[in-house]
Amino acid sequence: MTKQKLTEAKSAYLFLLPLIVGLGYFYFYAFIQNFYFSFTDLSSFGKPSLVGLENYKKLLTDEKFYLAFKNTLIYVLIGVPSVLIFSTLSAEFLNQNIKGNTFFRTALFIPAVTMPAAIGILWRWLYNYQFGIINVLLNRVGIESIAWLSNTNLVKGSISIVLVWSMSAIYTIIILSGLQGIPKSYYEAAEIDGANKFQIFFKVTLPLLTPTLFFVAVMTTIGIFQIFDLIFLMIQPTALSLRYSMSMVYYFYDRAFVAFDKGYASAISIILFLMILLITVVQLKLQKKWVYEE
Amino acid sequence: MKLINKRKVSKWVYLYLILGVSITILPFIWMFLTSIKTYEQAIAIPPILFPKTFHFENYVKIMDKFPFITLYLNTIIVIVFVVIGQLIISSMAAYAFARLYFPGKNILFLLVLSLMMIPSQIFLIPHYNIMISLKSINTIRALILPSLFNAFGVFLLRQFFYEIPKSLDEAATIDGASYFVIYKRILLPLLQPGLVSLSIITALNTWKSLMWPLIVNRDMDKMTLSAGLGLLIGEHTTYYEQVMAGGVVSVFPMLIIFLIFQKYIIQGIANSGIKN
């Protein structure tokens, strides 16, 4: 018996070996290394030396970091509710008995398989001040051209539009499969009781969908906290509007791999990690308040 | 059930869906239309919807300037290695976590799970240093190595293992099968939906990945399509019709794959949500 248990444990460790070695080296060791770097003046050359809490102190007075932090929060505050609303509406409507269901479904899901670089190329063209189709159409109806990507007040909104446009597809798929998991009998019972469409949606569908919506809320929050691609692809490094659109991850990338101030960049990444951790813990705590359990 | 089928779908539902679909696909159609115009036609005001003659030479021009074939090949190589590597490594580990007993199991699993909470940027500077020490800067393997090990894959496949009845393992054990035989011969074939799901999610993530290739590789011929295209945007922004042709070349092959394997891709993405 004990011998059998020993073989089982031995086999288990063998099965786990590649994963443990890989995760250990590339992730656990890397995590500790990054944490250590945040207390050093690591740049691209030479050996790093310890500087204590210097990097973190610098963060407190760094105006650019403050802006990046604020911008990121705004992306999250606009993006998460928008993605939730659009994905839920799309999923709910696709789940109805509509004509041309396959066409609508396929068309709505296309952004889910499109790479950010292509999305960036496409939207920069649509947003183009002089020749972009959006401004041309606005001019037609008597509205003046809008500097979508260079107006410092609008740039976050313009990027958020593309963000929501590109993110909603995946979450529509996930919410749709959540909807399909709701037993039909609930709807039948509600209909027999004479509930109308709105009552059914708000009293039956939404409560039963809350576990999925909770998952989507957590995933989109974490995802948008790490927004980088669209800003990198749509805003020129020299543009004035960069200050008003760059995110924490953009600033991290800029410090680490453009300015080569890697010790400082490590500190930024640690703060990002702590922020995401904090928000996820808060969301988990709030979960009990609104997520319906059977 | 009948009641629901009889329920009329409101006009507003169609209006929403038609608007939604327009906002989703019109930009892509506009991208294609721009790509077959001349420069003058592309920037004409009022805009020209359909050019009288199609100027496919934009595609030739952008293919000359920009190594699409190399980039596609690199992307395919990276995706194939990362997907196969992850399938093997994650499914082996998931089997141990789902089916075997060993000391330290819970702690180890918690450690793996905790990795899913950490934003990937934390690892980038150390990964870059690791690639220096492995002499792998500016290589294709630098794009593969860190992605072979994925906590999410282990978590996802473990859930799929739980759906396979344990009586199968027990019967095989009585017949004297080893753990490896049980894993490979009996469970892996039944794990197929999970493996497909993980492959699709991993392939899509690799397809879209932008920052790591930009950091670790310098030369265009060592880039993936995503990162190469990202660099292209900075360089040739003025020739909109050529850039749009580049956009079309990078969107349409994947679009066709999506149309063919739609069922699996959607199911794969959906599974990643449900199983959590």
Q: Is A151 a domain residue?
A: yes
Subunit contact B124:A269, Cβ cutoff 8 A: yes
Whether the bond between B27 and the residue before it is cis, its omega within 30 degrees of 0, is no
pLDDT at residue number A86? 96
Q: Is B256 a domain residue?
A: no
**Residues A4-44: tens digit of each pLDDT:** 888 889 999 999 999 999 999 999 999 999 999 999 999 87
Subunit contact B269:A173, Cβ cutoff 8 A: yes
Q: Is B27 a domain residue?
A: no
* Average pLDDT, integer, range B66-70: 91
Subunit contact A269:B215, Cβ cutoff 8 A: no
> Domain range holding A265?
62-290
Q: Is A20 a domain residue?
A: no
The minimal CB distance from B210 to the residues A117, A252, A277 is found for A117
Q: Is A153 a domain residue?
A: yes
User: A106: distance to nearest CA of chain B, Å?
Assistant: 8
In total, how many domains does chain A have?
Answer: 1
* Average pLDDT, integer, range B74-84: 98
> Domain range holding B222?
68-235
Q: Which amino acid is at A100?
A: G
Ranges of chain A whose pLDDT falls below 50: none
Q: How many CB pairs under 8 A join A and B?
A: 290
Find which of A31, A94, A121 to mutate to test the B interface (most B CBs within 10 Å of its CB): A121
Q: Is A33 a domain residue?
A: no
Nearest C-alpha in B relative to A87: B20
Whether residue B146 is predicted with pLDDT greater than 50 in this model: the reply is yes
Chain A CB within 8 Å of residue B53 CB: no
Whether residue B49 is predicted with pLDDT greater than 70 in this model: the reply is yes
Q: Which of residues B9 and B129 earns the better pLDDT score? A: B129
Find which of A125, A150, A279 to mutate to test the B interface (most B CBs within 10 Å of its CB): A125
| CATH number, position B85 | 1.10.3720.10
Whether residue B4 is predicted with pLDDT greater than 60 in this model: the reply is no
| CATH number, position A69 | 1.10.3720.10
pLDDT at residue number B112? 94
Q: Is B56 a domain residue?
A: no
pLDDT at residue number B23? 94
Rounded to two decimals, the ipTM of the complex is 0.91
Whether residue B3 is predicted with pLDDT greater than 60 in this model: the reply is no
The minimal CB distance from A226 to the residues B100, B121, B149 is found for B121
Whether residue B235 is predicted with pLDDT greater than 70 in this model: the reply is no
Give contacts of B 234-273 with A, CB under 8 A.
234, 237, 240, 243-244, 246-247, 250-251, 254-255, 257-259, 262, 265-266, 269-273
**Residues B166-222: tens digit of each pLDDT:** 988 888 888 888 999 999 999 999 999 999 999 999 999 999 999 999 999 999 999
In total, how many domains does chain B have?
Answer: 1
Nearest to B266 by CA among B204, B206, B188: B204
User: A63: distance to nearest CA of chain B, Å?
Assistant: 21
pLDDT at residue number B209? 94
Q: Is A57 a domain residue?
A: no
pLDDT at residue number B250? 92
Q: Which segment of A157-166, A282-291, B111-120, B128-137 scores lowest on mean pLDDT?
A: A282-291
**Residues A92-136: tens digit of each pLDDT:** 999 988 888 889 999 999 999 999 999 999 999 999 998 899 999
Whether residue B233 is predicted with pLDDT greater than 90 in this model: the reply is no
pLDDT at residue number B39? 84
Q: Is B260 a domain residue?
A: no
Using pLDDT thresholds of 50, 70 and 90, give the confidence band for residue B2. Answer: very low
Q: Is A22 a domain residue?
A: no
Q: What is the pTM of this model?
A: 0.92
Using pLDDT thresholds of 50, 70 and 90, give the confidence band for residue B269. Answer: confident
- Do residues B28 and A125 make contact, with C-beta atoms less than 8 angstroms apart? no
